[in-house]
Each structure stands twice: as structure tokens, then as C-alpha cells.
Structure 1
Amino acid sequence: MIRIDSIEAGRGSLPRRSAKQMSNERESYVLTMQEDTPELIEQWRDALDELYMEFRKRSRAALKDYDVEDVHQARVSARKLLTLLPVLDPDDESGLYRPIKKAQKRFGRVRDADVLIGEFKQLRQEAKEAGRGDESRLFKRMAKLEKEERRSQRKKLSAKLPKIVNGKLDRRWKTFLKEDLPELAARADVVGSVRELKDDYRKRRHVYQVTADRAGLYSDEALDALHQVRIAAKRCRYTAEAAAFALGDKQAEDAEHFKSVQKRLGEVNDRHVRIRIADDYGPEALGADEAGWTAFRERLDAQLKEALEEVGEL
């Protein structure tokens, strides 16, 4: 069963901090950052540029043959950049966030199709080996339809990505590292940003709990709210990992926790998405009779419930 416990469960509850304590924490952080500013700027530059170079390399490679791993890594590196940039540049004065976000969405649509095709192929094989021929044929049909969707998304990626990720963006990136980063890194409050992300995670976790109590654990509303918890956990994890040089051991421990949450909730989301895609296609498009469709949907629902029961502590 899902338990909505605090992140600090088993380690004691965190005491509520007064405004004065928070102010003192902030002053202490600023003083420390001022002392370590030159080294910190270089650490930020190294971390960000490594991600950007990976993003550009994978972007170019992905457009050549749409290699599954290149598409995946281009999306991941973009997502990590989108996690770190707001810490430094919350108002996007550099203008970098928007184009990278557009690219990330384009890669995401192709990546989602890649994942679903692989998943449907595996499920087809498992159903076939278990003697569930009707189910196997349904997954085969879903994989075929998803390939058509992927073909469309690949065409859009090829047409639109070069207009977003190009020499102009590279020049803007170099200017950012050289001219903007020193000041932004010196004044960035990484600890405060991580704290805000964790607060957002807790809020989304609470919204999920309330929604599940009101609409039902297996309702679309609750599952959508749970997906938002996963997204918040992912932001916490990526920020803590990518900015580890500016954080302490506590944040590293939290990153492992959020990684675990992300993985467990990812399984739930995958099964929920599987159901939605099946319902969107419907029995007619998938060539299923009433009995076969009913059995298929019941099995998908059971798999979703199984994943929810394995979620555990959030």
C-alpha cells in the first residue's frame, strides 16, 4: 500500500525554523559562497558546459539516424540543464531556458514513442509465451500504431530542431558562460533552491493524498496528481545531483531518496499511460472483440494496481 510519510521518516522530524534562523542560515550561506566564489564559478561552468556539450553532441547524432540512446541522452541532458538554469537565472535573463525547453519537448515526444514501442514489443512476447494469444495480438497492433506516431514525431524533430539548436544558441551559450555566469553563480542560493524544490515536492505529495482520498486511489485525477509528485521528485534529484559541488552530504542522501521515488512512480505512470493509449485507440482500431477487449483492459487495470501497491513510502 502507498504510505504518504515524510521524507525524513525514520530520521526524526525537522524542527520548524523561525524567520530569524532562516535569515541567519541565508547570511551564513552568502558568506561561505563569497569566500569560495572563484572555485564555485569554475565548478558551475564545468558542470553546465559538460551538460551542454552532451546535449549538442547527442542532438546532432540523433538527427542522423534517430538512435534510441542518442534521443534519450539528448532529452536527459536538456532536462538537467533546465533543472540547473533556473537556480542561477530564475528570470531567464540569458534567454537560454526557452529554446532548450522546446528542444527537450521535441526529443521527449520521440523518446516516449521509442519507449512505448519497446514496451509493447516486450509485453507482446510475454503474452505470447504465456499463451494469451489475443493479448499478444493487441500489443502487436499497439506497437504498430505507435510506430506511425513515432514516424510523425521524427519528421517534426528533423524539421524544427535545427531552428532551435544551432550556431546562434551556441554563441548565446558561450556568452552566458563568459559574461553572465560569474555574477549569477556568486549570488545563487543553491541550498535555498533545493529547499524550495523539496517544499514543492511535499505540496504535490499532499495534493495527491487529498485527491486520492476524494476521488479514489485508482482515479485518473489521483494518478495525474501522483505523476506531478514524480515530476517534483525528478527536479529535486537532478538539482541535487548536478549541483552536488555546492551542496552537502544531506542533499546527496536526499537525491538517492528522490531517485527511488522517481523510479517507483515511473512504473505507475508507465502503466497508466499504457491504459490511456489503449483506451484512445479503442477496441475497433485494435481489432478486438468485446470479450477480448474486456479481458485485456482488466489485465491492464490489475497491472496498474500492482504497481501502486509497490510504491511504498513517498
Structure 2
Amino acid sequence: MAAKYVRQLDKMGRVVIPKDIREDLDLKGRHLGVYEIGSGRGIKVINEEAEGEVKTLDRYGRIVIPIELRQLLHWEEGKQVEIKVNNKEVIISDQSQVCAVCEHEQSLFPVKSKYLCEDCLEDGNLQMSNRWASKLDSLIKEYREHCRNALNFEDPEDIHQARVKGRRIEALLQFLNVSSHHEIFQNLKEAHKLLGAVRERDVLINGFEIRAQEEENQNLADVYAQVYQRVFKKREKHRKKLAEKLPEVISERFYDQWNAFVEDNIRQYVMALNIKQRLDVYEKRFNQAVDGFNEVSEEKGRSSKKALKALHDVRIESKYLRYIYKYLDEIYEEDFQEQVDFYEKLQDEFGNINDLKDWLDAFEKHFDKLESKKKHKKAVKQQMQDELAEKMNQVTIETKSN
């Protein structure tokens, strides 16, 4: 490695070129050009016989660095700089401007407060792409297993987990800026819709069954039981559709497309990813959803349909952020657990409210077809409305920046 010297800028913006370098390059009395290297890395001093903006060394071997360059590089009086020779050019730069991994000095790219050479940067990009590919492949394998098991209808949790894994895959692809028009997205969304029709009724059946069992008033318990039975019948229709359509949507062709996407395309998305910029977009969207909920709640009331819809939007944004932070934590090995916990808490809290809203919507849909006295049906409806209003009045949301 070539000899390096450390010198300090004086108040006039001058720096002493070491005697060894002055003599080796015969700089005394020469016209010298001073230029920025690029990417904020420093400057180069070259021996050139040209008219125009040139410098010469003074009798102490000092050269004045133009103020425009000092401002560009944020170099002020007292700045310690490193001086060396490269291809007969005097390189004046910040100290230790070498690759943080291999210590090479050529083809450097600034990465935060350090530099990486082209080879190490390429290797790092490849490793990061492989991490993303590994995480997505792990999710798609779990998704595939749950989709297969879901068609047996033996455990409702398989349908639930198939939806969860599919939603997480969508969240990560969106974060990578994969187009929503990509065919993979279309298949995932269609499958999510089919799975959702069954899952929503599983939740309704479970909710009304528990309410029927826990209700002390037998007349009201009978109302809950009737809704449970009606939803149960509806679920069978959606199960049949799921069994018929899901294998067509999430087919072997879909998995072939997935494998081709991960193998051929994932790297370009990872290399183009600006994590902070993307997180800022998602955090801003979440904050806007929170502001929207607060505005609607104040204008229309906490229990209004618009407020419930606005709260659902907050929940969706918190769900995506929870997924994203969780996997960024794993892929980049950074500590995002605080963010994961924050959004998971919101998701769980608002999920309970959303379930109650869905139960109330389902009840209203079946209201006229229930074979119970109107006063009993109204009492059940009032129960759920009061419970929902109480939960909505307890909602407080703080915005959070990354």
C-alpha cells in the first residue's frame, strides 16, 4: 500500500503537501489543477500545463484548496486529511478511505459513514438478495402447506394461517416495490378472497356459538344460536367454492412462476431498495390513517360507521408495518422489536373491535329471518352495539415514527 500522510487544514484552507511527494512528482513551481474526486470522497491535485484556474505551491509546500471544494466536502479549519499518491496524482481525502471489508482503495462507494469497494458491495448485495429469497421461500412453503391442509377442512387454523402467510408475502413484495399488477399478486389476492370468505364465517360461527353458550337469558341465547346456525349453512357454500377454485389459483403453475421470480428478479428489487425511504412512506400512511380516524370520530362520533371504517384502515396499516418490521429485523439483523411490539398491540386491539363489528353486521343481515320475538332480537342487537361503543370509546392511538 502506498505511503500515506496526515495533515491539517489551516484557517486559509491550505494544506502542506509532504516533501517526499513534492519531490517525487516534481511539483515545485508547477501549475497544479485541483479537482473533486467525486461522491464526496475528497480532491485530487494534478500537474497540468494549462491556463485558467490553477494553483502553485508556496515556499512551504502548501496548496490552497478552493473554498467551493471545502464547502462541498464540509472541510473546515483544523480538518485532518489523508494525503497519498495514486497514478501520479496527489489524493487528499478523509482519513482511512478504504473499503471497510477488504481495505482496497479503488472503486469505493459511500455506504452510511463508511466505504465499500465495488466487489464487496456486489458480494453484499448478493448475500442480501439471498436472505430475502430465503425468507420469501420459507413463507411460500408454509403458505403452500396451509393451502393444501385448508382443503381438508379439518382444522380452521389452516385457513387462517394460509391467509396470514399470504398477507405477509404480499406485504414483503409491496415493500420491495413489486408492481401490484404482477401475476403473482393477482393469484395471491384471488386466493386471499376465497380463503377469506370461509375464514370470516369461521370467526362468526365461533363468536356466536360462544355468545349463545355464555348468555344467561335463554331467549337471547336462542337468538345467538339461530345466527350461528344460519352462518354455518352459508359457510358450506363457500367451502365448496374454495375446494373447487383454490387449486386452480394456487396451482403448480403459480409455484413455477414464483420460483422464476425469486431466481430471476428478486435481486434487482433488493438492490434498488431504500429501506428508510420505504419505511417513511409506510409510517406516513399510518399517521395519515390515524389522523383520518381522529377527524372522523370527532365529526361523526366514535361509533359511527365511518369511524369504524377509519379504524379498520389504521389496523390494516399497522398490520403491514408489523409484518415489515418483523422481517426487516430478521433479514438485516437490526433491532426493530420495539416497532413490532407497538404495531402488534394495535393490530390485536383493533382486531377484536373489527370482529365485533363483523358480528353486528352479520346479525343485522340475518335480523329479519330470525324466528324470535322482535324485542329479543333488538335486545341482542343493543347488547352488541353497547359493547362496540364501549370499546370504541376506549380507543386511543399514538402516531409513531421509525
Structure 2 residue aligned with 1:68: 156
Structure 1 residue aligned with 2:310: 225
As a proportion of its length, which structure holds more strand? 2
**Bigger-Rg structure (1/2):** 2
Task: Check conservation: 1:191, 1:247, Cα contact below 8 A.
Answer: no
- Paired AA for residue 38 in structure 1: L
Structure 2 residue aligned with 1:292: 376
Structure 2 residue aligned with 1:6: none
- Paired AA for residue 396 in structure 2: G
Residue 301 of structure 1, CA deviation:
1.3
SS of the residue corresponding to residue 287 of structure 1 reads: coil
Task: Give % identity.
Answer: 24
Match of 2:219 among 127, 134, 156: 134
Structure 2 residue aligned with 1:248: 334
Within 1, Cα distance between the matches of 2:283 and 2:127?
Answer: 27
Provide closer, same or farther for how the CA distance between residues 311 and 30 of structure 1 changes in structure 2, counting only shifts above 3 A: farther
Structure 1 residue aligned with 2:174: 86
- Paired AA for residue 232 in structure 1: E
Task: Check conservation: 1:63, 1:158, Cα contact below 8 A.
Answer: yes
* Worse overlay, 117-126 or 87-96: 87-96
Q: Deviations over 1:179-237 (max 9, x none)?
A: 11122212122332222111111111111111111111111111111111111111111
Q: What TM-score, normalized to structure 1? A: 0.84
Confirm or deny that 1:262 pairs with 2:328: no
Provide closer, same or farther for how the CA distance between residues 30 and 200 of structure 1 changes in structure 2, counting only shifts above 3 A: farther
Q: Structure 2 matches for 1:31-70, cutoff 5 A?
A: 34=121, 36-65=124-153, 67-70=155-158
Report the count of equivalent residues. 284
Task: Check conservation: 2:207, 2:359, Cα contact below 8 A.
Answer: no
Provide closer, same or farther for how the CA distance between residues 60 and 221 of structure 1 changes in structure 2, counting only shifts above 3 A: same
Residue 89 of structure 1, CA deviation:
3.8
Within 2, Cα distance between the matches of 1:172 and 1:220?
Answer: 41
SS of the residue corresponding to residue 243 of structure 1 reads: helix
Q: Deviations over 1:146-191 (max 9, x none)?
A: 1112111111111211111111111111111111112221212233
Residue 247 of structure 1, CA deviation:
6.8
As a proportion of its length, which structure holds more helix? 1
Residue 313 of structure 1, CA deviation:
3.4
Within 2, Cα distance between the matches of 1:97 and 1:31?
Answer: 37
SS of the residue corresponding to residue 313 of structure 1 reads: coil
Structure 1 residue aligned with 2:388: 304
Within 2, Cα distance between the matches of 1:313 and 1:93?
Answer: 33
- Paired AA for residue 306 in structure 2: E
Residue 67 of structure 1, CA deviation:
2.5
SS of the residue corresponding to residue 64 of structure 1 reads: coil
Within 2, Cα distance between the matches of 1:28 and 1:92?
Answer: 31
Structure 1 residue aligned with 2:194: 106
SS of the residue corresponding to residue 65 of structure 1 reads: coil
Structure 2 residue aligned with 1:121: 209
Task: Check conservation: 1:94, 1:176, Cα contact below 8 A.
Answer: no
Q: Structure 2 matches for 1:189-228, cutoff 5 A?
A: 189-228=274-313
Provide closer, same or farther for how the CA distance between residues 256 and 264 of structure 1 changes in structure 2, counting only shifts above 3 A: same
Structure 2 residue aligned with 1:171: 256
SS of the residue corresponding to residue 151 of structure 2 reads: helix
Residue 28 of structure 1, CA deviation:
3.6
Confirm or deny that 1:184 pairs with 2:269: yes
Confirm or deny that 1:158 pairs with 2:243: yes
Task: Check conservation: 1:218, 1:305, Cα contact below 8 A.
Answer: yes
Provide closer, same or farther for how the CA distance between residues 118 and 105 of structure 1 changes in structure 2, counting only shifts above 3 A: same
Task: Check conservation: 2:213, 2:221, Cα contact below 8 A.
Answer: yes
Within 1, Cα distance between the matches of 2:158 and 2:113?
Answer: 38
Structure 2 portions without partners, runs of 5+ = 1-109
Q: What TM-score, normalized to structure 2? A: 0.67
Higher relative contact order (CA 8 A, sep 6+): 1
Within 2, Cα distance between the matches of 1:66 and 1:261?
Answer: 31
Structure 1 portions without partners, runs of 5+ = 1-25
- Paired AA for residue 314 in structure 2: V
Residue 302 of structure 1, CA deviation:
1.5
Task: Check conservation: 1:59, 1:70, Cα contact below 8 A.
Answer: yes
Match of 2:228 among 138, 143, 158: 143
Q: Deviations over 1:122-141 (max 9, x none)?
A: 111110xxx21111111111
- Paired AA for residue 334 in structure 2: G
Within 2, Cα distance between the matches of 1:120 and 1:290?
Answer: 18
Structure 1 residue aligned with 2:38: none
Within 1, Cα distance between the matches of 2:139 and 2:292?
Answer: 33
Within 2, Cα distance between the matches of 1:237 and 1:293?
Answer: 39
